[in-house]
Amino acid sequence: MFTLPELEATATLVHRHMPATPQHRWPLLAARTGVDVVVKHENHTPTGAFKVRGGIAYMDRLARERPGVRGVISATRGNHGQSLAWAGARHRVPVTIVVPRGNSTEKNAAMRAQGATLIEHGADFDAARAFAARMAAEQGLEFAPSFAPDLVRGVATYALELLRAEPGLEALYVPVGLGSGICGCIMARDLLGLSTQVIGVQSVGAPSYALSFAAGHVVQTERADTLADGMATRQPDAGALAIILKGAARIVTVSDDEVRGAIRAYWTDTHNLAEGAGAAPLAALMQERARWQGRAVAAILCGGNIDLALFQDWVMGG
């Protein structure tokens, strides 16, 4: 999909807009797990999530190749839409985002604040995505998928930062929504010639990629039942799955209760706020901690954009 020089050039582009995010060891997390845990803090980007890196790469390519583009449209639960709106504003490209009905009010507000026109349609992400694709065809807009080469190359820059800073990592846990994050980690690892295991994480209630990984082909689910909305995908992307099948060690599923525990652990042990998908890697690491005792393992805290009501329930509640 891209070479190491291309990835390095994308990292230079990303760093013109934002600094590299930190990776930290937190003693309380190590004490809690018995693992030498390295946390990659993608919750420290300008939009509070890793997706902005892909937005920067996507809009840069679009501005160069189609300078007169009428506008961009996409579907999202929040972080992808924020990334497109953030990057689109810097290139003066109008961005329309379709979200499912009942989507996070705070993520909706954040996308509007970044300059996006917001449309609510459908019961879930996959329905919103189909509607956005139809609107693109009808109105002559550029449809920005949630998984595409630009996006993977952009988000892979966080894995490049992490793996160059910590080349001795034995494993890396990363959440799987539509696949750009885990595919970026796999490709960065391979380009650097490392042996780090890349382990995907999904929700027990939204296991489409876990089922597809086990079956060796795309398996679509009828429902995606999880409060960790960044992982609520019913329809895997075939291109993403091909990369995951080739390069991931496995996909672990975690319950919402396990995610709740990981969000609380991040809050108490590091004073960092994690959204559901952002805490899922730590939840999976805690589930599998017996196999990693005393060894260096990374958890991607991919975003911190959690609604206040959910934070109050999962962190402050009983």
pLDDT tens per residue across span 272-288: 999 999 999 999 999 99
| Phi, psi (degrees; rounded to nearest 5) at 117 | -85, 125
Three-state DSSP string of 114-135: CCCEEEECCCCHHHHHHHHHHH
Summarize the confidence of residues 252-267 as an average pLDDT: 96
Summarize the confidence of residues 52-80 as an average pLDDT: 93
Q: Please spell the DSSP secondary structure of 38-78, one letter per residue.
A: EEEEGGGSTTSBTHHHHHHHHHHHHHHH-TT---EEEE-SS
Q: pLDDT tens-digit profile of 134-177?
A: 999 999 999 999 889 999 999 999 999 999 999 999 999 999 99
Summarize the confidence of residues 67-96 as an average pLDDT: 93
Is the pLDDT at 232 greater than 90? The verdict is: no
Contact 95, 72 (CB under 8 A): yes
Please, what is the Cα angle at 77 between 71 and 82, to 5 degrees?
50
CA of residue 222 relative to chain centroid, distance: 22
3-state secondary structure of 26: coil
CA distance 58 to 277: 22
- Number of residues that this document lists for the chain: 318
Is the pLDDT at 317 greater than 80? The verdict is: no
The residue with greater pLDDT, 210 or 147, is 210
Name residues whose C-beta falls within 8 Å of residue 318's C-beta, 6 or more positions apart in sequence: none
For residue 11, what is the enclosing H or E element?
helix 4-17
What is the reported pTM? 0.94
Return mean pLDDT, the chain: 95
In the structure, what pLDDT confidence band is assigned to residue 309 with cuts at 50, 70 and 90? confident
CA distance 161 to 293: 25
Tokens of 66: 């189609």
Q: pLDDT tens-digit profile of 106-136?
A: 889 999 999 999 999 999 888 999 999 999 9
For residue 162, what is the enclosing H or E element?
helix 149-165
CA distance 33 to 64: 47
Q: What is the pLDDT of residue 255?
A: 97
- Structural domains of the chain in order of their starting residue, each with its CATH number: 4-50+149-316 (3.40.50.1100), 51-143 (3.40.50.1100)
Instruction: Provide, rounded to the nearest whole percent, the portion of the chain with pLDDT above 70.
Output: 100
DSSP conformation class of 314? I
Q: What is the pLDDT of residue 78?
A: 83
Q: What is the pLDDT of residue 1?
A: 82
Tokens of 233: 């995908």
Bridge partners (DSSP) of residue 297 are 37, 171
Summarize the confidence of residues 39-57 as an average pLDDT: 97
Is the pLDDT at 316 greater than 90? The verdict is: no
